[in-house]
Structure 1
Amino acid sequence: MTDYPIPAMDDVELVEVLRAVADPIRLQIVRVLADGRPHPKSMTEWGVDVQKSTMAHHFKTLREAGLTRTIVSGRTHEIQLRRDELDERFPGLVEALLRD
């Protein structure tokens, strides 16, 4: 399902998750992904104005911290929040991140 490695949820550390979402752009990405559905990387509704390479860095950081997975289907790459897994490992975390 994914060609990009993600850490096992048991190996995801809260401090790394918090470090990843401390950046306002990555927090915005998590808020968009909070609906639990996969979103295309090329999606223009991320709500940020940065270069494609910068977005790639943010997507990688979120994935390596254990927050997201990248789903590859042919030439299509989609990003999905690991919402259910995060809710189980860190109850209330995603909801807290959604608050303003």
Structure 2
Amino acid sequence: GIQQNGANIPNVNKHLSSTISTTPTAEGLTITAINTTGQKQVFMAKQLGNLKKYQCGLCEKIVTNIQIHVRRHTNDKPYPCTYCEKRFTNSGDLQIHVRIHT
């Protein structure tokens, strides 16, 4: 499941199609994503000061939720639309999309 600071975050990964875990390092986090076929990808994220913000090691974007951001790099889309075949990386994008159907 998803881990943060070595502890599992309950119920966060119930809709994930891959497993994303984070490991604290001296500079921030190492993020490991393993998809359903067993492919493993490792990313680095630099923590910015005492803020709960991270800079992605791949694209240098600054984000507060690194797990959701990593999905954009892994193309993991665990949130399916119930009206069509589209899938989304986060529930917010899905909610915006569903409005076109209602």
When you count helix as a share of all residues, which structure comes out higher?
A: 1
TM-score by length of 1: 0.22
Q: Report 1 or 2 for greater relative contact order, CA contacts < 8 Å, sequence distance ≥ 6.
A: 1
Task: Select the structure of larger CA radius of gyration.
Answer: 2
